[in-house]
Amino acid sequence: MSTHRAVLIPGDGIGPEVTSAVQRVLQAAGAPLEWEEHQAGVKALENGDDVLPEETVEAIRRLGVALKGPCTTPVGEGFTSVNVQLRKRLNLYAAVRPVRSLDGVQTRFENVDLVIIRENTEGLYSGVENQVTDDVVMSMKVATETACTRIARWAFRYATRRDRKKITVFHKANIMKMTDGLFLRCARQIHKAEYPNIEYDEVIIDAGCMKLVQNPGQFDVLLLENLYGDVVSDLCAGLVGGLGVVPGANIGEEQAVFEAVHGSAPDIAGNGVANPLALLMSAVMLLNYLAETRGDDVCRDVAGRIRIAYDRALADGAKTGDLGGDLGTDAFADAIIERLDQPS
Ligand code: NAD
Going by C-alpha positions, the residue among 230, 239, 231 that lies closest to residue 212 is 239
Residue 76 has pLDDT above 80, yes or no: no
For residue 38, is pLDDT > 90?
yes
Query: Is it the case that residue 75 has pLDDT exceeding 80?
Result: no
Pick the catalytic residue from 12, 180, 230, 296: 230
Higher per-residue confidence, 125 vs 250? 250
Chain mean position to CA 43:
22
Query: Is residue 216 within 8 Å of 241, Cβ to Cβ?
Result: no
User: Which of these is catalytic: 125, 158, 289, 310?
Assistant: 125
Closest-lying ligand 1 atom to the alpha carbon of residue 268: 11
Ligand 1 interacting residues, C-beta cut-off 6 A: 14, 70-73, 83, 243-244, 259, 262-268, 274-275, 278, 322
Instruction: Work out which ligand 1 atom sits closest to the CA atom of 242.
Output: 7
The fraction of the chain above a pLDDT of 70, given in percent, is 99
Q: How far is CA 161 from CA 69, 112, 198, 281, in A?
A: 28, 20, 11, 20
Name the architecture of domain 1-107+241-344. Answer: 3-Layer(aba) Sandwich (3.40)
Q: Residue 186's pLDDT band (boundaries 50, 70, 90)? A: very high
| Amino acid identity at 109 | F
Per the annotation, the verdict on 230 as an active-site residue is: yes
CA of 233 to the centre of ligand 1 (A): 13
> How many angstroms separate the alpha carbon of residue 89 from the centre of ligand 1?
23
Catalytic-residue membership of 158? no
What pLDDT, on the 0 to 100 scale, is given for residue 1?
63
Q: Quick one: 337 exposed, middle or buried, by C-beta within 10 A (0-12, 13-18, 19+)?
A: middle
Q: Where are the domains of the chain?
A: 1-107+241-344, 122-240
Catalytic residue among 88, 141, 166, 172: 172
Q: Is it the case that residue 159 has pLDDT exceeding 80?
A: yes
Residues 6+ apart with CB under 8 A from 288: 299, 300, 303
Which ligand 1 atom is at minimum distance from the Cα of 74? 32
The reply to whether 125 belongs to the active site is: yes
Structural fold of domain 122-240: Rossmann fold (3.40.50)
CA angle at 7 for the pair 231 and 228, rounded to the nearest 5°: 10
Tens digits of per-residue pLDDT, 194-220?
999 999 999 999 999 999 999 999 999
197-200 long-range contacts, CB within 8 A, separation 24+: 197/160, 198/156, 198/159, 198/160, 198/164, 198/165, 198/166, 198/167, 199/165, 199/166, 199/167, 200/166, 200/167, 200/168, 200/169
> Quick one: which atom of ligand 1 is closest to the CA of 321?
20
Quote the ligand 1 centre to 269 CA distance (angstroms): 10
- What is residue 77's predicted lDDT score, i.e. its pLDDT? 61
Catalytic residue flag (residue 310):
no
Q: How far is the CA of 272 from the centre of ligand 1 (A)?
A: 15
pLDDT at 27: 98
Q: What is the mean pLDDT of the chain?
A: 95
Over residues 256-299, the pLDDT tens digits come to 999 998 999 999 999 999 999 999 999 999 999 999 999 999 99
Query: Would you place residue 183 in the very low, low, confident or very high pLDDT band (cuts 50, 70, 90)?
Result: very high
Please tell me whether residue 236 adopts helix, strand or coil conformation.
Answer: helix
